[in-house]
Amino acid sequence: MHRRWFLSALALLMSIFLAACTTVNTQQPQTKITSTTERINTNSQQLPKGSAERVVALSSLSADIISRLDQTKIVGITGSKLFKNDSRFNDIPRVSEGQSPPNLEKVVALKPDLVIGAEGFSNIPIQKLQQLGIPTFLTKVNNWESLEELTKTLAKSIDADPQPLLNRYKTFLPEKPIQGFSTLALVSRQPILAPNKNSWAGDLLAKFQAKNIAADLQGKSPVGGYVTLSAEKVLEANPEVIILVNPPQGNSEVALLDSLKKEAFWQQLQATKNNRVYVFDYYGLVNPGSINAIEKACQQLKQALFAPQGT
């Protein structure tokens, strides 16, 4: 049992690492055609000249955004379970599956005039594509503002209007201030791993005014934006709300909760006593994944953080 959960935790840590590779508040477009490296951040944006007509997206979030901006511009995507039942992508070629590197021959065969990669995960294939003279840029998203900036950046690259999508994002967030509950987001049990304010999950919690007990903590976690906590630290913080993250490998909610109930500290927490423990999907809360995944996570946060104590 412990070995199974250790392996699940290890797999989740690797998934979070890859998610971290796709999240931060800067975009770095690089194109060999113009022989320049252009840095895009929240203060200034400079894109390669001209509108891209054939885009290959090596991350699910970028593929989703491009598709929603202009479905005709996306010609290749990475394989993702998020698109399994999405008719928009039924006829779009997959250039990779899961976390495997993209097949560069497939990418080149699609004759893209722009390839969007995830920084940290797509660097090597992006560099190879640059050597072939294919325009590319890398994306990172670790807070809400960077999601908006990425949407604007991609819209500009394909000459599309980002405003309808930006307006939709606004509907995901609370319309008025809410009571801030002390909250622990638990993404791993062994070790106890929680997001601080420098992660997508941490920023999302802040948008809902949750008092994230790990927000200002720093640690030696191998994953940027996350810290390890001891059982004693959790007991000391005694959160009012606990959010558990189901790993992308798909362990059941029942198994996840049962494993935690065996921990000595678990029944002593006020969140447990007041039945304020909620299970979230990995996509949307830890890894943005797609617009629908983000929307679902926001809806769950409203339900978890708007509900009165003791319900």
Asked if residue 6 is part of any domain, the answer here is no
Asked if residue 197 is part of any domain, the answer here is yes
Asked if residue 38 is part of any domain, the answer here is no
220 shares a domain with 152 = no
- Domain total for the chain? 2
Asked if residue 294 is part of any domain, the answer here is yes
In terms of pTM, does the model score above 0.85? no
114 shares a domain with 144 = yes
Ordered strands of the 241-246 beta sheet: 211-212, 182-186, 241-246, 277-281
Asked if residue 79 is part of any domain, the answer here is yes
282 shares a domain with 204 = yes
Asked if residue 17 is part of any domain, the answer here is no
185 shares a domain with 168 = no
Residue 159's CATH number: 3.40.50.1980
Last residue of a domain, which of 116, 144, 172?
172
Question: Token pair 């998934």 is at which residue?
Answer: 15
291 shares a domain with 215 = yes
pLDDT score at 263: 81
196 shares a domain with 298 = yes
191 shares a domain with 300 = yes
Last residue of a domain, which of 116, 139, 172?
172
301 shares a domain with 198 = yes
**How far is the CA of 281 from the CAs of 30, 268, 294, 295, in angstroms?**
33, 25, 10, 12
The boundaries of the domain holding residue 129 are 55-172
Each of the 311 residues of the chain gets a pLDDT tens digit; together they read 444 444 444 445 445 544 444 433 333 333 332 222 233 333 233 445 678 999 999 999 999 999 999 999 999 999 888 998 899 999 999 998 877 889 999 999 999 999 999 887 788 899 999 899 999 989 989 999 999 999 999 999 999 999 999 999 999 998 876 778 999 999 887 788 999 999 999 999 999 999 999 999 987 666 779 999 998 999 999 999 999 998 776 556 667 777 777 788 888 999 999 999 999 999 999 999 999 999 999 999 998 987 655 44
Cβ atoms of 83 and 180 within 8 Å: the answer is: no
